[in-house]
Amino acid sequence: MTVPQSNNGEASPAVPEELQENVWITTIAKFLDPIYNWTRRNSLWPLGFGLACCAIEMICAASSRFDFARFGMEVFRATPRQADVMIISGTVTKKMVPTIVRLYNQMAEPRYVIAMGACASGGGPFKEGYSVVDGIDKFLPVDVYIPGCPPTPQALLNGMIAMQEKIDQQSIATVPWYRKDDPLTELVPIPLLGPDLVDLRQVELIKSEAAKANAETAVEEAILA
């Protein structure tokens, strides 16, 4: 795909091949962006699942007292193929991460991730536990972090509003889900769960560290012998 050039010789944002004939998209993108962002920010459909105590606060936020519906967010979907927001609401265990990543990969672009609470953001009180992941951001790209243990429904509403503000800053000409060469649009490798959790993106690092440890052990054994 060729990269169009602007008048000053600099590269303009890449436009997908199927849209290159539609010149109006690039010329009046600044007029389309407010409409495009308004439709997305007011129709965010979260994926309906919870992990721990934060899920109770998420349920409360959808009740009549706090009312997600004011923001167009009340449509919790039971399938990732109809959702565009994943709220990680609770403690993320190593056994659960492969399933969470699989569900994320099944969501259509554009998709967003909210780390709700201390556990999802950094492990919380269970950090460094043998069965707990210290932050979902080690496996998925997180858009908004919500502190608290657990955060209140008001905090979740504030996080959703913060995500709406982030959406307002996006442009149809540069968003990653319209660019084939953007790494954010690639599927996230599903971690392997064996004796421990293995992120396939770090296999080479794990191999090098293991080889280094084996070499150090061999040197120590040789000295002791």
Task: Give 151-198 pLDDT, tens digit per residue.
Answer: 999 999 999 999 999 999 988 878 888 777 766 667 888 998 888 888
**Which one, of 33, 35, 43, lies nearest residue 169 by Cα?**
33
Note whether 106 and 80 are within 8 A (CB): yes
Q: How is the chain split into domains, by residue range?
A: 45-162, 192-224
Q: How sure is the predictor about 24, in pLDDT bands with cuts at 50, 70 and 90?
A: low
What is the pTM assigned to this prediction?
A: 0.78
- What tens digit of pLDDT does each residue of 33-63 get? 888 889 888 889 999 899 999 999 999 988 8
Beta strands in 85-155 (DSSP E): 85-89, 112-116, 144-146
Q: How sure is the predictor about 3, in pLDDT bands with cuts at 50, 70 and 90?
A: very low
In the CATH scheme, what is the code of domain 45-162?
Answer: 3.40.50.12280
Q: What is the pLDDT of residue 164?
A: 92
pLDDT of 200 higher than 90: no
Give the Cβ contact number of residue 21 at 10 Å: 8
Tokens 């293991």 locate to 210
**Which one, of 126, 110, 121, lies nearest residue 147 by Cα?**
121
pLDDT of 222 higher than 60: yes
